[in-house]
């Protein structure tokens, strides 16, 4: 019998989500963060910010960005620090770390946080 205690990380990071909800009827992804902030991303916005290699290399050409009307087919966790988002236009390579998602939060309240 071991009394060893594992200390939970007490890091007060704002990039830990406590809730992730894809609201398909509204075409939005909602993330609630451990600091109480809630981010709401339109699917089209996430699609436009896809961090995968194919999209980020498409400078100027944006070959695979569709015209706004994009849905999310599936959202799944990648480890404990990222989401894999698959779109219904067949694109499924985007791995969005929570740090990245937080950095693109569209609410407009984060300008003061920029370094």
Using CB under 5 A, list all residues that contact Zn ion.
Answer: 39, 50, 52, 55, 94, 105, 107, 109
Q: Closest CB to Zn ion among 1 and 49?
A: 49
Query: In angstroms, what is the minimal distance from the CB of 6 to Zn ion?
Result: 32
Q: Closest CB to Zn ion among 1 and 63?
A: 63
Q: Closest CB to Zn ion among 22 and 105?
A: 105
Which one, of 23, 60, 56, lies nearest residue 38 by Cα? 23
CA angle 63, 21, 105 (to 5 degrees): 60
């Amino acid at each position: 019998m071991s009394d060893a205690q594992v200390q939970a990380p007490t890091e007060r990071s704002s990039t830990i989500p406590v809730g992730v909800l894809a609201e398909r009827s509204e075409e939005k992804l909602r993330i609630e963060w451990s600091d109480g902030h809630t981010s709401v991303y339109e699917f089209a916005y996430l699609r436009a910010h896809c961090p995968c290699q194919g999209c980020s290399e498409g400078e100027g050409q944006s070959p695979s960005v569709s015209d706004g009307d994009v849905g999310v087919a599936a959202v799944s966790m990648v480890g404990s620090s990222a989401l894999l988002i698959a779109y219904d236009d067949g694109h499924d390579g985007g791995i969005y770390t929570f740090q990245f998602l937080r950095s693109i939060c569209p609410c407009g309240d984060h300008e003061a946080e920029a370094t």
